[in-house]
């Protein structure tokens, strides 16, 4: 018998003694992503493609579908009274959605449509999300403090990938589960339970066009992957939608690498709504995620839209990566002495 997302979350909550509000919040995400995916599927048919001509906080041109996805998520989440604060890639400021913040307990952060440059070429895109509980020891009326927590504090995180099928991947910190949308009944059905990343894969995922701008450590590491030093000759895959590139890495194994470069000295990806949910899922599935110095989930954010380097992958690739970084640090220290 097929298990729907709603059935699964009820069970998960009972196992974890979670609050019913969590189920209510996640059902808001589920509803919004069903609406978003319906528009994504019709993107070439209706007059929804094209730019609104506005730029978002990152200076990128917003696509109409980005705006639709953002509004749909906000509208379906702001009516959940337990959610006090919403933050989105598309909004420079966070949104306080309850009049009386003391009665709300959760903050939600999302990227409504990641990989939006892929929309008008019919390539996979996605939605990422993270949920935090309001910390105990903060001023309730200072909503930024609800959000600026390390990724370790996420109580739920996940993403939806709009690809050849629509797949919702989530974790409450008790394993990773994936649900595929059955369009004939409009329900997400459990298709991958307790996902474990393969310890080693055979793909690396990186925009190699920027190689000249990356630190030589990354190039040396790539060379090892390409030349069979990890007992396999790696092949490359890069779509330019983090959700698509990571989803493949989650299921097939391997490593996704987006380091700092000259244009983005901190890294290109956003910590709060891209790297954090991906890192949470990766760790829950037996993988690792780092910014090259420390685990993504241990980075203390100081800005809602801050960027980070992101290296995420399976146990074997990440162990080799960490060894490489440690070696580089040691030789730097030796040459300074």
Q: Read out DSSP for 267-319?
A: -SEEIIIIIHHHHHHHHHTT-EEESSSSBGGG---SSTT-EE-EEEE-HHHHH
**Strands 288-290, 203-205: pairing kind:** unpaired
Q: Return the number of the residue (80 or 270) whose C-beta is nearest ligand AFP.
A: 270
Does the protein bind ligand AFP through residue 115 (CB under 6 A)? yes
- Sign for the CA dihedral angle at 202, 205, 209, 214 comes to negative
Does the protein bind ligand AFP through residue 34 (CB under 6 A)? no
> DSSP E strands: which ranges in 5-117?
51-55, 61-63, 83-88, 95-96, 106-114
Q: Read out DSSP for 83-100?
A: EEEEEETT-SS-EE--S-
Q: Return the number of the residue (98 or 207) whose C-beta is nearest ligand AFP.
A: 207
Does the protein bind ligand AFP through residue 207 (CB under 6 A)? yes
Q: Return the number of the residue (44 or 228) whose C-beta is nearest ligand AFP.
A: 44
Binding region for ligand AFP (CB under 6 A) out of 17-25, 35-43, 112-120, 172-180: 112-120
Give the chain's end-to-end CA distance (angstroms, integer).
Answer: 66
| Binding residue (CB under 6 A) for ligand AFP from 173, 240, 286, 295 | 240
Helix axis angle for 20-41 and 5-16, nearest 10°, is 150
Number of residues that bind ligand AFP (CB under 6 A): 11
Does the protein bind ligand AFP through residue 91 (CB under 6 A)? no
Binding region for ligand AFP (CB under 6 A) out of 10-18, 90-98, 183-191, 237-245: 237-245
Q: Return the number of the residue (74 or 269) whose C-beta is nearest ligand AFP.
A: 269
| Binding residue (CB under 6 A) for ligand AFP from 72, 128, 149, 241 | 241
Q: Return the number of the residue (172 or 272) whose C-beta is nearest ligand AFP.
A: 272
| Binding residue (CB under 6 A) for ligand AFP from 268, 276, 299, 308 | 268
Q: Return the number of the residue (89 or 320) whose C-beta is nearest ligand AFP.
A: 89
Q: Which residue is nearest to ligand AFP (CB)?
A: 242
Q: Return the number of the residue (3 or 57) whose C-beta is nearest ligand AFP.
A: 57
Q: Which residues of 311-331 are buried (b: 16+ CB within 10 A; e: fewer)?
A: bbbbbbbbebbeebbeebeee
Distance CA 215, CA 313 (A): 19
Taking Cα atoms as reference points, which of 152, 151, 134 lies closest to residue 143? 134
Question: Which stretches of the chain bind ligand AFP, using CB under 6 A?
Answer: 60, 114-117, 207, 240-242, 268-269
């Amino acid at each position: 018998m097929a298990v729907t997302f709603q059935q699964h979350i009820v069970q998960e909550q009972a196992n974890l003694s979670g609050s019913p509000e969590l189920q209510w919040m996640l059902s808001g995400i589920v509803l919004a992503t069903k609406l978003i995916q319906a528009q994504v599927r019709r993107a070439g048919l209706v007059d929804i493609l094209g730019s609104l001509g506005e730029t978002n906080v990152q200076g990128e041109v917003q696509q109409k579908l980005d705006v639709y996805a953002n509004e749909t998520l906000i509208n379906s989440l702001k009516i959940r009274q337990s959610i006090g604060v919403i933050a989105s890639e598309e909004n420079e400021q966070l949104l306080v959605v309850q009049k009386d913040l003391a009665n709300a307990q959760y903050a939600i952060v999302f990227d409504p449509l990641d990989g939006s440059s892929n929309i008008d070429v019919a390539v996979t895109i996605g939605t990422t999300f993270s949920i935090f509980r309001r910390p105990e020891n903060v001023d309730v009326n200072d909503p930024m403090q609800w959000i600026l927590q390390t990724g370790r504090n996420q109580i739920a995180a996940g993403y939806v990938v709009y690809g050849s099928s629509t797949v919702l991947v989530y974790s409450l910190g008790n394993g990773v589960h994936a649900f595929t949308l059955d369009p004939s009944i409009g329900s997400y059905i459990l298709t991958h339970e307790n996902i474990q990343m393969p310890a080693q894969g055979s793909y690396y995922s990186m925009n190699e066009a920027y190689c000249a701008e990356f630190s030589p450590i990354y190039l040396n590491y790539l060379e090892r992957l390409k030349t069979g030093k990890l007992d396999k000759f790696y092949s490359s895959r890069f779509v330019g939608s983090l959700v698509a590139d990571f989803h493949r890495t989650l299921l097939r194994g391997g490593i996704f690498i987006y380091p700092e470069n000259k244009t983005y000295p901190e890294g290109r990806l956003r910590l709060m709504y891209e790297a954090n949910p991906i890192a949470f899922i990766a760790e829950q599935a037996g993988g690792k995620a780092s910014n090259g110095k420390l685990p993504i989930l241990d980075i203390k954010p100081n800005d809602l839209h801050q960027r980070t380097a992101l290296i995420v992958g399976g146990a074997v690739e990440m162990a080799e990566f960490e060894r490489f970084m440690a070696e580089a640090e040691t030789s730097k220290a030796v040459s300074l002495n």
